[in-house]
Amino acid sequence: MNQGPNLPTFQPSNPRPPSADLHLHTTHSDGTFSPQRLVEEARACGLACIALTDHDTVNGTAETAEHAKTAGIEFIPGIELTAHVDEREFHVLAYFPNSDGWSDPGFRGEIKKFADARVERIHKTVAKLNAVGVGLRADDVFAISGNGAPGRLHIAKALINRGFVHTVDEAFVRFLRKGQPGFAPKFRLSAPDAIALIHRFGGLAVFAHPGIAWLDHRIPDFVRWGLDGIEVWHSSHRPGDVKRYRAIAEQHDLLLTGGSDCHGMAKEEVLIGSVRLAYEYVEKLKEPRRTRINANQDS
């Protein structure tokens, strides 16, 4: 296994209780912040720890880790993968606090399939839009995504730039959501395969933003397939959601995580720091997976 860069060790320098934001995106997927800008924003928010969870890519991980080290912020490598269950998307966050699995050529080879599928999806979506009279080109989208992993948010921005819609929400409602003329399905990875892939390379699998996934009834299955945690705190979760998912996580002996899901200025507001995960949950995330499982079984 190839070794990734040495990641910084946490050394608290903030007098307030340390907190983390474990769900962040950069320009390497569909965010607007570069790794450097992301770390600058995290420092300005007083965050002690961050995780980079770009969609289907770890290309920004090493760069973000170096900037975090310079800023004195703990960094946890991660990625957000999209799987499917019951014809619905299951977003799973993979964290590598104790492993360089994210940099392993085998893992990178697997996620390259997702990146290639994203490019293919852009071409399919553009073809569907052209068929209903929307004169968008794939190059319009790639000009926006740059070196990042292209996605529907980039298509929405291209539609705005070409004057077909006025807002991102309008783009999704009129063209890009399931059932609309520009919707093209993603490369399909099953939920158990996604969890197994993460575990194979030493990662932890966490159910992302369950409050907007509508998959609560499948959580026992996710647990059976090896799910490690639930994102209890998320920018879209209301207090009732937090209470519910915290109880579910504790019921199934799962890790509790949280993050803002910040995409920079790609959405209505900059969300970094709007969700602050207590550092005690970061410590639990760093416990060796087997140790934690054995402890749960003995209790």
Phi and psi dihedrals of 203, rounded to 5?
Answer: -100, 170
Question: Which tens digits make up the pLDDT trace of 180-226?
Answer: 999 998 778 999 999 999 999 999 999 999 999 999 999 999 999 99
Give the integer Cα–Cα distance in Å for 257 and 206.
Answer: 8
DSSP string computed for 72-127: T-EEEEEEEEEEEETTEEEEEEEE-TT--GGG-HHHHHHHHHHHHHHHHHHHHHHH
Q: Do domains 19-99+188-298 and 112-176 have the same CATH topology?
A: no
Q: Is the pLDDT of residue 291 over 60?
A: no
Question: What rounded mean pLDDT belongs to the chain?
Answer: 91
Question: Which tens digits make up the pLDDT trace of 254-279?
Answer: 999 999 999 998 777 889 999 999 99
pTM above 0.75, yes or no: yes
The CATH number of domain 19-99+188-298, selected from 3.50.50.60, 3.40.50.20, 3.20.20.140, 3.30.499.10: 3.20.20.140
Q: Quick one: pLDDT at residue 299?
A: 43
Check whether domain 112-176 has CATH 1.10.150.650, yes or no:
yes
Q: Quick one: pLDDT at residue 47?
A: 97
Domain map of the chain by residue range? 19-99+188-298, 112-176
Question: Which tens digits make up the pLDDT trace of 100-113?
Answer: 999 999 999 999 88
Extract the tokens encoding 44. 């300005």
Average pLDDT, stretch 151-171?
Answer: 94
